[in-house]
Structure 1
């Protein structure tokens, strides 16, 4: 089972001041890890680094003891990011967005059809499969992005504020699906500003003033 570890890492953009300093955290298989903090605290920065999109200025980011590398290497290691801004292609339908991603990561056309149908059904979007992204509401777009993430069968699933536009029923549905991913053996990291969502996770890392502090970390030494 895969673990992703950030060790005494500092993150910054270009030559700017550090966004985060001295961060150490391990995303463990079979668990939900909440990353909390106000807007601008660095939640997206940390998940971007875990996804291979941002290299640490100092420290390390690794998977199972090996350097994570860039985004291509992270994808090859099964690291899936569901971005805050959904990242969907507006010229494709909901189903096409998911199927293309499955095929791009090595799935067969048959895999793509099956996983697309299953993930859309799980999010209550079977009826929107053939709609273009621009024809969907904000909440439906967010659920489509989640469905795409689930269809990729991640080893490490990074979900950035994926419940922000959802009502209570759909938020609980998403949390149940993320829990199912952890039960399958994935390491799930969920960035959120919602206390109830964070409380549903196994551990909580809080970001503030450029540093990371454990709110809940059961099983730590």
Structure 2
């Protein structure tokens, strides 16, 4: 599997000031890495940059040591956003099938989607429209969509924030399983209990790396 790295990355939005300033960090394969820091520290921006949704002003995003700009197909990345990013007019299962089709994982896609929903306790909701679900169920559906891709890198943004304790533990256990499968998993979180179960921690403050564990 493959690592994901930011190498001296500076990035911002439009003409505004940089949100990340020369940030360097690496999430190795087989490891669960917590990305922590106060609100506005740059956690979501770091994940979006790793996912290829933002282009650095300076520096590079690397996968297994290769520039993602030069080799955008070097590996599969799954990004699970805080706001879930799912289509409310589709059913839960359809949201997963669309993600699989976009990633050209069509054979056995329905079976893979069913397995992912079972892992998140959403078997009975698979045919419901997303807009009919609670906030916590929608968040779990977003996690299922990220996990169904069996990606090299899994980037999860505050994915436990809407969840009760049993489902929070379920999601953290599944992220751990992804790391054990060999994926590089990065979890941006405000939750100290979530960061404590991670193998490593990168703490951001004011767009810079403040501390590594």
Task: Give me the TM-score of the superposition, normalised by structure 1.
Answer: 0.93
Assess if the C-alpha contact under 8 Å between 1:100 and 1:112 holds in 2: no
2:53 alignment partner in structure 1: 53
Q: Which runs of 4+ in 1 moved over 2 A?
A: none
2:72 alignment partner in structure 1: 73
Output the CA distance in 2 between the equivalents of 1:103 and 1:119: 15
| Cα deviations by residue, 1:153-173 (Å, 9 ceiling, x for unpaired) | 010000011110001111111
Larger deviation: 204-213 or 117-126?
A: 204-213
1:28 alignment partner in structure 2: 28
1:219 alignment partner in structure 2: none
Output the CA distance in 2 between the equivalents of 1:73 and 1:103: 18
1:214 Cα deviation from its structure 2 partner: 2.5
SS in structure 2 of the partner of residue 193 of structure 1:
coil
1:101 alignment partner in structure 2: 99
SS in structure 2 of the partner of residue 212 of structure 1:
strand
Are 2:80 and 1:87 equivalent residues in the alignment?
Answer: no
Task: Give me the TM-score of the superposition, normalised by structure 2.
Answer: 0.96
Output the CA distance in 2 between the equivalents of 1:26 and 1:11: 17
1:94 Cα deviation from its structure 2 partner: 0.2
1:207 alignment partner in structure 2: 204
Larger deviation: 31-40 or 188-197?
A: 31-40
Are 2:193 and 1:196 equivalent residues in the alignment?
Answer: yes
1:99 Cα deviation from its structure 2 partner: 1.0
1:210 Cα deviation from its structure 2 partner: 2.0
| Cα deviations by residue, 1:31-51 (Å, 9 ceiling, x for unpaired) | 001001122211110000000
SS in structure 1 of the partner of residue 108 of structure 2:
helix
1:150 Cα deviation from its structure 2 partner: 0.5
User: Which of 104, 120, 128 matches 1:131?
Assistant: 128
1:104 Cα deviation from its structure 2 partner: 1.4
Assess if the C-alpha contact under 8 Å between 1:102 and 1:111 holds in 2: no
Assess if the C-alpha contact under 8 Å between 2:31 and 2:183 holds in 1: yes
1:186 Cα deviation from its structure 2 partner: 0.3
User: Which of 164, 167, 175 matches 2:161?
Assistant: 164
Assess if the C-alpha contact under 8 Å between 1:81 and 1:158 holds in 2: yes
1:62 alignment partner in structure 2: 62
Output the CA distance in 1 between the equivalents of 2:84 and 2:72: 21
2:148 alignment partner in structure 1: 151
Unaligned runs of 5+ residues in structure 1 are 217-221
Assess if the C-alpha contact under 8 Å between 2:40 and 2:206 holds in 1: no
